[in-house]
Amino acid sequence: MSKSYQTVFREYPDPLSTADIQVILRISRHQVYKLINTGVIQGKKIGNKHLVSKINLIHYVLGPEQS
């Protein structure tokens, strides 16, 4: 997993913003917030921003059987 963490999404910062996740997953802002707020994607709210670590997004994309 560590190698994929270093190479996947390397052009994006860590942690990822909701706008970054929208672009990566090609989903709406509403869907991004829903995934974070329901805990499907693990993230943190800092101030008024939601941030997600790249590794958490990779776990979401790969699914539970690959994590």
Q: What is the pLDDT of residues 1-47, one digit of tens each?
A: 556 556 778 889 899 999 999 999 999 999 999 999 999 999 999 99
Structural domains in the chain, CATH included, are 2-62 (1.10.10)
Copy the structure tokens of residue 60: 């979401």
The answer, as to whether pTM is greater than 0.85, is no
User: Phi then psi for 17, rounded to 5 degrees?
Assistant: -85, 170
- Give the other-Cβ count within 10 Å of 53's Cβ: 16
Using CB atoms within 10 A of its CB, is residue 25 exposed (0-12), middle (13-18) or buried (19+)?
middle
